[in-house]
Amino acid sequence: MKFSEIQILTHTLEAQRAFYTQTLGLPDATTTPDTFTAQAGATRLTFAQAPANWKGVYHFAFNIPENQLAEAKVWLRQRTPLISSHAGEDEYNFESWNAHAMYFFDPAGNVVELIARHNLPNASPRPFGSHSLLNVSEISVTAAAVPDTARAIQATLGVEVYDGPSATFAALGDEHGLFIVVKEGREWFPDTGVWAGFYPMTARLEDGRIWVAPLS
């Protein structure tokens, strides 16, 4: 499963535009007075201006070349702080997924991840740069009942369960693209102090199928 476009809200549109296009160096694919779209490899990441006083946050992840975790860490640290766990870790090994990841906050407070999935044949010999953000590979979906929402996504999109589901977590799709379904109020990893809430999100798949996250 591959995401061709992710659309989310932000209360800091201009700061987001500057961060993704200048700090991270992603191409500015489209700009309007109320939206902008950063081209993250194969995925269009669109931010739309949220209503006044809206403070929602999301989790999403970018796939990076599976052999470039160390290079990515140096590159990212030069641009923004990494999120550390309470134990002082800022690099995380997901053994069951055969992947390593690191996290940072963008200006809107979204929990953003760079993840090297070692099962994917995407190793690169090029120096790490903005082009190394290959695609958006995870997007958050908040649920009142995780199993029910997981079943609804499966029925609508025909995607498989990648991990779970449990009462608080499910990952649906594959290593190219995953819906990360979590229970409302669950803290986003790693020790972020950010809690999952119901926020509008639209995910368009490569084949044109769409999932629109409900507000509750």
The range of the structural domain enclosing residue 99 comes to 3-213
* pLDDT recorded at residue 79: 98
Residue 215 has pLDDT above 90, yes or no: no
> In this structure, what CATH number is given to the domain that contains residue 98?
3.10.180.10
Instruction: Share the mean pLDDT of the chain.
Output: 96
pLDDT at 1: 96
- Residue 38: pLDDT band by 50, 70, 90 thresholds? very high
- DSSP-assigned letter for residue 126: S
Contact, 10 vs 106, CB < 8 A?
no
Mean pLDDT of 160-164: 96
User: How many residues are present in the chain?
Assistant: 216
Please tell me the total count of domains within the chain. 1
Band (pLDDT 50/70/90 cuts) for residue 214 is: confident
**Percentage of residues of the chain with pLDDT beyond 90:** 95
The CA-atom distances, in angstroms, between 78 and each of 9, 72, 109, 115, 197 are 27, 10, 19, 18, 31
Report the predicted TM-score, pTM, of the whole model to 2 decimal places. 0.96
Residue 216 has pLDDT above 90, yes or no: no
d(CA 164, CA 216) in angstroms, rounded, equals: 21
Q: CA-CA distance, 110 to 87, in Å (whole number)?
A: 21
Predicted local distance difference test score (pLDDT) of residue 77: 98
**pLDDT, tens digit (0-9, with 9 covering 90-100), for 88-140:** 999 999 999 999 999 999 999 999 999 999 999 999 999 999 999 999 999 99
